[in-house]
Amino acid sequence: MCGIIGYIGPKVAYPILLTGLKRMEYRGYDSAGISTISIEDNQRAVNIVKKQGKVSNLENKQTELQGNLGLAHTRWATHGQPSELNSHPHFNDDKSLMLVHNGIIENYLTIKRNLEQRGYVFHTQTDTEVLTKLIDYYHKKCKQKLSTTLQNYEQKKDPLELALRAALHDVVGAYGIVLFHKDTNKLYAAKHGSPLVIGIGKNEHFVASDPAAFLDHTRRVLYLEDEDIAIIKENSYELKSLCSHNGECIKRKEDLVDWDITAVEKNGYEHFMLKEIMEQPQTLANCLAGRLDPQLNDIKFTLKLTLNFIKNIKRISIIACGTSSYAAMAGKFLIEKYLRIPTEVEVASEWRYKNPIISKDDLVIVISQSGETADTLAALKLAKQFGAKTFGIINVVGSTMSREVDSGIYIHAGPEICVASTKAFTAQVLCLNFLLIKLGKIRGDLTETQIQRMISNLLNTPELVKQSLNNIEQIKAAANLIKDKQSIFYLGRGINFATAKEGAIKIKEISYIHAEDFASGEMKHGPIALLEKGFPVVTFVNKNDPLYEKNLSSIQEAKARGAYIIVVADHIDSTLQSYADTILQVPKVPDYLQPLINTIPLQLLAYYTAKLRGCEIDQPKNLAKSVTVE
């Protein structure tokens, strides 16, 4: 949610900031702004342009935004409606202090009332303006104090750093902030619960909420951790802790981003969503690379959990949000079926507030594309407080969640730009299979023959997905038939109930058609009342499914009431043809791969339906990619 980029160096900041905002448009936003410092006749001036709507509204502002230092932001409204006034950067009364902010300041109303009593006037409904003026209040106070003291050590202190520290000790909530003051040639950044990363170039530095914003300039990065404060200059940076009172610098290892800028470009595709769907054979191959060992009949990744703990796991909790929670549902089915470990799946926003029952014999698995999802991250921290062991299935290397878990695995899906997740979901399901086999081997729940067969099937996954992408024309035809419908049902049994949920959310997210998902057997307990002639129903039929006959019965019930039946099936025969109006054929695979394979035609169905309806596919309304607020 929201995008931040700051720059300081020898180059003109505006085009760098503008390009950086465009690289982060996938995160979802409703307004954008840029501010820079320019110097003319030895006078420093702050320039600012803010616009509601697209980043493109900021183009051709070069003459207004001179200077070699600046910051920029795309806003996704939390406090106050989308508007130019509420957009970032926010500033103090004389516009000498500029600040951009991701996150939510929960106690902003209390702070606002205190500042109003001190004479501050507010012009927006945002918590960010409150934070800006709180820092301004402390800055004025610190400058006054430092100007009256004669001690040398006091004179060397930075009043804006002191003000930032004081203000952040007052606030409650989540923040990733970047600010500057016109009288200092520095950028200041701070993080708590909302991602920030420093880009380290040659005689220039960047700070952003996503390294994609500056990746065409440098791949050398430093990920900020909670309670970090960074003071960033043209040729250097200092990292300090908000918790430290003596202001000592922190030394931390830098990283190299292992993907290049082509990963966040469309490469000839009309939309990022279509690109990301079509590149799944490759992303899954990347996920598989070096991890399967047919010779040793094992999965090669380090499970940093003791042998005794693994053999005595009493329960597994899988915590996630949105699409990741549907991958989690598939994982629950597999773990309980093959390992016989009681497993629960909870959406993070509910689990953390229900006073969960957690023991030291529990394994808590968190799943997140970004590794920064606020609710999931809070749930992870809660699990650790209770002493549970934690495991992460995460895409973004260096993310907060990846550093917090006891053990984990990266899905290596690469940057996912479209707000609607596609390749991350399939890679998450694949990694859940890795964990299943690893645990099953250590615990003895899977035989060597089972493991051998599973590894063989997993190795074929990229080719199987490629085959699933071959029904484009048939999927386009189905999309044309449902594009004007008001509602769609997605029905699934067993592990494909998770697939039904994933299919339903995709059509909702990008085509704005109302969609409901049900366990197939539940349709007759209420939802069937809504069926009428032409009502679309999407479901799954796998030939070797033990519930094959029951699946056909569910289709018959819907068909008898005039529903238009779309079936994702691993075979076509006369029986199925007599029941279904459209059959989207996929390769035949065992149950542990069905969510991965069966979701491919549903991704394409959602894409082509949205395209026919003229929807904005990569950036659907009201949604954001990385949800870093509750």
Q: Among all residues, which ones are annotated catalytic?
A: 2, 625
Count CA within 13 A, CB hemisphere, residue 221: 26
Count CA within 13 A, CB hemisphere, residue 444: 4
89 upstream amide cis, omega within 30 of 0: yes
Pull the structure tokens for residue 430.
């694949």
Query: Alpha-carbon distance 177 to 163, whole Å?
Result: 14
Query: Alpha-carbon distance 371 to 366, whole Å?
Result: 9
* CB atoms near residue 123 (< 10 Å): 10
DSSP for 319-363, please give it: EE-HHHHHHHHHHHHHIIIII---EEEEEHHHHTTS-----TTEE
The distance from CA 530 to its chain's CA centroid, rounded to whole angstroms, is: 34
**Per-residue b or e along 359-395, where b marks 16 or more CB atoms closer than 10 Å to that residue's CB:** eeebbbbbbbbbbbbbbbbbbbbbbbeeebbbbbbbb
149 and 189 in contact (C-beta within 8 Å)? no
206 and 218 in contact (C-beta within 8 Å)? yes
- Inter-helix orientation angle 322-334/496-511, to 10°: 170
The distance from CA 462 to its chain's CA centroid, rounded to whole angstroms, is: 24
What residue type is 116 in one-letter code?
A: E
H helical segments located in 226-299: 272-278, 280-288
Pull the structure tokens for residue 441.
């081997």
According to DSSP, the residues that pair with 47 across neighbouring strands are 36
290 and 300 in contact (C-beta within 8 Å)? yes
Reference 47, options 33, 64, 62, 31; nearest CA is 64
461 and 595 in contact (C-beta within 8 Å)? no
- What distance, in Å, lies between the first and last C-alpha atoms of the chain? 11
488 and 515 in contact (C-beta within 8 Å)? yes
Element (H, E) at 31: strand 31-40
Query: Alpha-carbon distance 147 to 143, whole Å?
Result: 6
Reference 131, options 106, 162, 158; nearest CA is 106
Query: Alpha-carbon distance 541 to 549, whole Å?
Result: 9
Pull the structure tokens for residue 313.
């796991």
Query: Alpha-carbon distance 328 to 322, whole Å?
Result: 10
